[in-house]
Amino acid sequence: MKSRGPPKRSSYGTFLIIICFSIGLLAGYLFLGSPRTMAAALKQQQSDKSEHVAPSKDSISKEMAAALKQQQSDKSERAAGAATDKDRKEKEAMMKAQQSDKSENKAASGTVSTRQEQAKSAVAGGAGVATAAVVGTDAKPNTTSTSSVATTAVTANATTAANPTVNTATTAAPVNASAAAGAAAGNASAAATTAPAKAAVKGVFPDANTWPITPVKEKMPGNTIHTLFTSNGSPYQNIQARIMVGTYNIVRKMPGGERLVALTRILHRTTPDEVMDEIPTFIAQPLQPECDKWCWFPVADRANAMQQWIDAAEKDPSLVKAPWLLLLETDYVWMKPLPDPGDAYDRSVPGWSFGFDYIAPSIPIIRKLLTERCPDCDPATIPNSGPAPVLARFSDFKAATPIWEELSKWIETHEEAKKMLGWVREMYAWDIGVAANKLNIRNQPPPSSPLISQPPHDRSIGNASMYHYTWGTLYKKRGQEKEKEFWIFDKRTYTAYEHMLKLPAIPMPPDWYDGIVLQDGLPVTKELHDTVVDMLRRMNEAVAQLPDLTENVKKQKEAAAAAAAAGKTSTS
């Protein structure tokens, strides 16, 4: 018998295998595309991703490198407190919720009658007291350090609320009854923050440069200045605010100080605070009520608060005391009056802003956000500034603030944008608002800027009228950089409630000698040392003139407690 070889595969089975294989190839081609198409898709994905991430250090400009260096330089700013990861996530979730439209509407939904009662003593240019709804915040990477921001809640002062007084030291004219009534009427709808005029794209107003300079019908002296600053009323910011206002009062007595006609603190807080009688105050309803005690990024409220003040001022023009508005932060030190800015009613005269070398408007996301709102705008016109310090007309703030407010909220709810832009993110929102509306504001860096100098980053005051102490100044011995500093001035160490009431004198540095270096190893020159001494001397001059509020606040709290107890007794 012949042996059999392996059985032959049927031609039918082979045919089926070929058909199945062919169908598989066709399906893969249809659903996934050709190899060339797939490669192109992967390349596009990589390109898209690069649009949404910060550029690498190898590909960034000097300007962007400076921005990244600033964002990474100060651990005390980036640490955002010593909270655990769990606490951090909970607080971030709370803040994100506060930024939603729903929570914003809830924060602004107080009854009209309550708002009107609160607004009776909320004034601009005079000492306000109760809660209204109209403006403010604090700062940039130098804004409130969340690692050290005070957590003390403020008890409302019933006695002060019942008897508001006007601080004539920082006010051009006393506030009258009609001004307070006008503020009350304006506050009822201020929190709605509707756009002040129709715009083809939200926040872009092609006719902005033709708007009235101010809502005030009577012409005011064109070179006068109304100073504004924002705060959340924490001890950390109130310590700075009291010193800043003290130095403001000093320079008002100098030649040129007559142009500084009024000062208003824009307080974004749910309750009055302890310095209401000392500092002329206008109260805005905050987006983040928890910032009364503690929050991660209180400056996120600044644009919304400013919009509230603008809305209220349009309803009650007496809130505006001069055609030039100067928006500052709490951590400024006045050294001399601003130079004459020129006639605000002459539209060819530019406003002023300050060029920060750690703001990088060429970052792709910033250019993209501008062109989305203003396709014909040149991204090169985005200033490397921020909302403070800025000297501009009321009409300029009215035009720039809607985009500033919108993007401030947008950034807070987009983690990638927050990571890319860091602690200065809200400043970029302002810059886009300025560029999109093509405002006539001249942006100047130090030392030519007439606004601020920032020691120890800047070695001298240059042309500036104020110092800004955003950075700490730590003295170390050369060759011992790893050792503890032998002298320090850092605003983050001044957060105590008792220091807010009774300001301590700031220790002066020891005499200069060759061999002192800063915390980053750079040498402390004689010029820089003298600049630091100049700033601290002026601060201590103001501190020496400021009253101790301890006993006054104690009596106010006792009166408020007694009134509350009496109210409970009468209702029981």
Pair (420, 477) in one structural domain: no
Pair (304, 348) in one structural domain: yes
146 located within any domain? no
With 0-12 / 13-18 / 19 or more C-beta atoms within 10 angstroms meaning exposed / middle / buried, residue 546 is middle
On the question of pLDDT at 189 being above 50, the answer is: no
212, 314 Cβ separation under 8 angstroms: no
Pair (502, 432) in one structural domain: no
Number of domains in the chain: 2
pLDDT tens-digit series, residues 506-516 = 999 999 999 99
Question: What pLDDT is recorded for position 293?
Answer: 82
Question: What pLDDT is recorded for position 322?
Answer: 98
240 pLDDT tier (thresholds 50, 70, 90): very high
pLDDT tens-digit series, residues 377-428 = 999 999 999 999 999 999 999 999 999 999 999 999 999 999 999 999 999 9
Pair (389, 296) in one structural domain: yes
Pair (373, 484) in one structural domain: no
251 pLDDT tier (thresholds 50, 70, 90): very high
Interior angle at CA 77, CA 72 and CA 83, nearest 5: 120
Pair (429, 280) in one structural domain: yes
Q: Which tokens go with 289?
A: 């009520």
Pair (495, 449) in one structural domain: no
For residues 16, 20, 21, 26, the Cα torsion angle rounded to the nearest 10 degrees is: 140
- Phi/psi class of residue 337: alpha, beta or left (left: φ > 0; alpha: ψ in -120 to 50)? beta
221 pLDDT tier (thresholds 50, 70, 90): very high
Q: Which residues pair with 281 in a beta bridge?
A: 265
4 located within any domain? no
460 located within any domain? no
564 pLDDT tier (thresholds 50, 70, 90): confident
Query: Which of 418, 453, 488 is where one domain is finished?
Result: 453
CA dist 447 to 139, 181, 459, 466, Å?
A: 21, 44, 9, 12
Query: Which of 423, 453, 483 is where one domain is finished?
Result: 453
On the question of pLDDT at 538 being above 90, the answer is: yes
User: Would you tell me how many other CB atoms lie within 10 Å of the CB of residue 207?
Assistant: 11
16 located within any domain? no
**Mean of pLDDT values over 306-314:** 97
User: Would you tell me how many other CB atoms lie within 10 Å of the CB of residue 57?
Assistant: 10
Pair (347, 401) in one structural domain: yes
300, 288 Cβ separation under 8 angstroms: yes
CA 477 remoteness from chain centre: 35
On the question of pLDDT at 113 being above 80, the answer is: no
367 located within any domain? yes
pLDDT tens-digit series, residues 454-499 = 999 999 999 999 999 999 999 999 999 889 999 999 999 999 999 9
Pair (414, 541) in one structural domain: no
Q: Is the peptide bond before 456 cis (omega within 30 degrees of 0)?
A: yes
Question: What pLDDT is recorded for position 524?
Answer: 98
Domain at 435, CATH number:
3.90.550.10
Pair (237, 341) in one structural domain: yes
pLDDT tens-digit series, residues 128-149 = 333 333 333 333 333 333 223 2
Pair (386, 491) in one structural domain: no
- Residue-range definition of the domain harbouring residue 508: 470-550
404 located within any domain? yes
Query: Which of 428, 453, 478 is where one domain is finished?
Result: 453
437 located within any domain? yes
321 located within any domain? yes
Pair (518, 412) in one structural domain: no
